[in-house]
Structure 1
């Protein structure tokens, strides 16, 4: 990491004019559903519901209350009023104490290491050929204890079943935290090599979901998949968005859908490109059996698309979706990355970890044939039919950087657009975008400035505002940095190392000024122990974070957004009216 990427970076020069992205294979210009809020996004909070019942006799009222308790305990979620009794006809209300919602297991689904797609596209299901001889992979998992220092039972299993590694045994008892500061500990596991999709899981403890994080890393120094790819193992979902896919000449995008549940999943894909939504035969009713991964070559659904956004929706079992994206320019490998889901559609999207290299080198490289996508860029997808006027702001170590046209870009409804950042001075940045119309966004990071050398790229998806006790799993080797951005106001971030022996070190406080980005280079060890992760918390005005990864002396790069913190104890208030 160069010195100008840190807080002490020298003042950079103003950004040059950004150019629209171009499709390397044809003449096109480029163009998740959103939480509609005009302000920066807040940390998650529990939901609640309210129940009411009609006038009835005492015995009838007791029966209704008991029924409500049974339904609440069985469902483990919010209780809708109309699901138990008809609407009230007037009467007196009696408040029932809030009931705890039982916590479920924390799950993280990890994709398998990158693999080459063999042959031409026939249909959509991908066939694979052997990987590079120098390819290596590793899975690193960290599970945090409760405030009393008890680590929940946790393990790594194969997606299809079968034990891979135990992280921590199930505790025989759960100590109650005492007065005073928490005594944190952790369970840690490192697995290498990784040969198939896997699942990291941790049981709830004290009726709260466990705090867990896992990271899968892939690296190769030769072959078509040369480069660095990394992904945080993600919880399965019934709705997610993936940006940054490219199916034009020399680009390969493979969508991997993994179902860790015991219920079959039926997946529908909504595809969006520069010209609008793509009606693709074969994108509906995709069956993903329990404990399996289905791999789809997106070129079979949307060929020749240089800007492709994928909305993944499933019924039945939830799925974890990632896109293995790779680039080959003639015989020169152009990098590999996992595209992971970012925040869903919203009026405000923020991406940190946008690490940009020398502007002159990037400009010269992008002018060469086939290298139009070898530049940093901001990509937007608008799910609805209404056009979005998006205001884009860029914040570096020394404050905001001006963008051409005031950073305003208009994106047609139902399409994808890309704004190149090839004139931005070298440094680490945070991108904030806002609009009156919901949209999803991600930002591309690139490495390499010579056409004859191997290049690499990464995508930083939009992420949620940081709150209390986020856990970040980090690879055991390579270059690692944490990037924090504060679009406005002022904030404090503290981060504490978690070592391979399960100890949580002393936290370091970092004061951040609004409108800036700060990058912290991470050491390999804390004391004599290898660092396996970090516990990150933030207070004050909204802060966003990401982890930047690289390899010494190589152009390899990968960016991983910091995931949401685990949900705390949730309660449902219940009121009975009689």
Structure 2
């Protein structure tokens, strides 16, 4: 039986988790050649662009303007090509065994039935060419070569048929035992469209249930909402560094009573090609509501929280908490699937089951309280919340709002405020206290745009959930199968203030379906993937990841 609270246990660097020796950045292991070369090329390209932009500024500044001329001179814009696509996938859930004070925490496999796999999609260009792409370990060892990189050519590219059939590179349910990275090389100065999803399932053990997460683009400022370090709850923050530069990470912890000052939460070194584990109960013990802001100096990092629940001897589920949208005046969450309200009321009224029901958590990082209005939209429109859906969230703290009394079904939650905040919604499955249950967290996400790559796992009940909180939206979803074919698109017309649920078929035209290309038009719309298992209490939700970035133009100025 694992211990679930470790108030005096420090964090750990796993391997990829490598031991934390307390050394400087110079002691970090040499990164793999692939990420170092990729970033070196990006730095050289940026230097060339800045030099070119500087030349433009100098020429303009030297041009005579005439006596008394005061015409302002705008800084020229330099086109910055997008880089490669990188998605860092969580490693399998691991059982925290514990350790003596001052030693590294220990992890072990969870059960004999546990399975972890990655599904991924990489889109080809309009001329039918796949970008060089691969699924690799965090240290750079290639696991699956999706497509080989095109050889460098000094002459013009050979002509290709104008009507080349669209295609995709596919990774279908590749078993994994550690953190992995899906990477795809840039094409013609544009970031390729690619996406991956990692899913964990187990039918026995303390981490029974399912957890899934989209493989995320590393960043330098991330918000995670939904952690819990109370009795019987275990929260492990995982920080992965795929870059060629060391990352120095600092954490800000927000609880129900405000900002938590935690020694040991600053200056955490994550070496290139490694993952560092932080036991959150060692920094903020006994917190039923805990949000974590992850800020990295140096290399960007990917972050998720492995959250699990054990009520006595009964497993209460496992989840990978993914980053939510950055604080803003409005947040939208979809994929919120609610069970029978009468059954939930009976379960959550029992001791130890307060977190077994659906709820919304709101984190207000600023110094002013937030007056927040909450609206919940189902298949046939808006549903009323007890109290009218208006609450006051305290500054610098985490506020929880139960979604009690809402009829069963899938929902989209729209939240607005006069003060910036971030949010996520808890989704639960299971209505009997003596049986194993499961839960998931659906984070606030950005509105849908064009050509989102949405991989789905190869088994279970899978649903695309789309919500349009206000005006009408049209969603186009194009299936992609395991043979790399991109099939004809289907469309869903969603009325304002409603949520649509679309069942994902097992196959299309005789080939296993592995994902979709999703685009939205009209008023703002939001999307998520809802995963369940027939006859089981498993549940997971994954927000649709942002689409590929194109070329950007940035102003270039010289100064001294």
TM range (shorter): 0.7 to 0.9
How far 1:194 moved relative to its partner?
0.9
Instruction: Between 404-413 and 317-326, report the one with greater CA deviation.
Output: 404-413
1:390 partnered with 2:369: no
**Structure 1 residues 261 and 319, CA, compared in 2 at 3 Å: closer, same or farther?**
same
Specify the alignment match of 2:328 in structure 1. Answer: 346
Separation of aligned partners in 2, 1:354 and 1:463? 13
**Conserved 8 A contact 1:166-1:189:** no
Specify the alignment match of 2:448 in structure 1. Answer: 466
Specify the alignment match of 1:189 in structure 2. Answer: 171
**Aligned equivalent of 1:170, options 149, 170, 193:** 149
Specify the alignment match of 1:157 in structure 2. Answer: 136
1:111 partnered with 2:90: yes
**Conserved 8 A contact 1:94-1:575:** no
**Aligned equivalent of 1:493, options 475, 479, 496:** 475
How far 1:100 moved relative to its partner?
3.0
How far 1:569 moved relative to its partner?
2.4
**Conserved 8 A contact 2:53-2:76:** no
Separation of aligned partners in 1, 2:162 and 2:85? 27
**Structure 1 residues 91 and 493, CA, compared in 2 at 3 Å: closer, same or farther?**
farther
Separation of aligned partners in 1, 2:343 and 2:100? 35
Specify the alignment match of 1:140 in structure 2. Answer: 119
Specify the alignment match of 1:210 in structure 2. Answer: 192
**Structure 1 residues 77 and 266, CA, compared in 2 at 3 Å: closer, same or farther?**
farther
Unaligned runs of 5+ in 2: 6-42, 66-71
Question: Which fold has the larger relative contact order, with Cα–Cα distance below 8 Å and residues 6 or more apart in sequence?
Answer: 1
Counterpart secondary structure, 1:119: coil
**Structure 1 residues 71 and 317, CA, compared in 2 at 3 Å: closer, same or farther?**
closer
Output aligned runs, 1:409-420, within 5 Å.
Answer: 409-420=391-402
Counterpart secondary structure, 2:388: helix
Specify the alignment match of 2:489 in structure 1. Answer: 507
How far 1:575 moved relative to its partner?
9.1
Specify the alignment match of 2:13 in structure 1. Answer: none
**Conserved 8 A contact 1:548-1:560:** yes
**Aligned equivalent of 2:390, options 408, 411, 414:** 408
**Structure 1 residues 95 and 136, CA, compared in 2 at 3 Å: closer, same or farther?**
same
Counterpart secondary structure, 1:103: coil
Specify the alignment match of 1:250 in structure 2. Answer: 232
How far 1:74 moved relative to its partner?
2.1
**Aligned equivalent of 1:535, options 511, 517, 526:** 517
Specify the alignment match of 2:106 in structure 1. Answer: 127
Specify the alignment match of 1:423 in structure 2. Answer: 405
1:101 partnered with 2:80: yes
**Structure 1 residues 149 and 81, CA, compared in 2 at 3 Å: closer, same or farther?**
same
RMSD of equivalent CA atoms: 2.7
TM-score of the superposed pair, with normalisation by structure 2: 0.86
How far 1:228 moved relative to its partner?
0.4
Specify the alignment match of 1:518 in structure 2. Answer: 500
Separation of aligned partners in 2, 1:177 and 1:343? 41
How far 1:83 moved relative to its partner?
12
Separation of aligned partners in 1, 2:357 and 2:196? 29
Separation of aligned partners in 2, 1:423 and 1:83? 63
**Structure 1 residues 299 and 80, CA, compared in 2 at 3 Å: closer, same or farther?**
farther
Output aligned runs, 1:66-81, within 5 Å.
Answer: 73-74=46-47
**Structure 1 residues 347 and 94, CA, compared in 2 at 3 Å: closer, same or farther?**
closer
How far 1:475 moved relative to its partner?
0.4
Specify the alignment match of 2:416 in structure 1. Answer: 434
Separation of aligned partners in 1, 2:514 and 2:500? 22
**Conserved 8 A contact 2:463-2:502:** yes
**Conserved 8 A contact 1:495-1:535:** yes
**Structure 1 residues 83 and 309, CA, compared in 2 at 3 Å: closer, same or farther?**
farther
Q: How many residues end up aligned between the 2 structures? A: 507
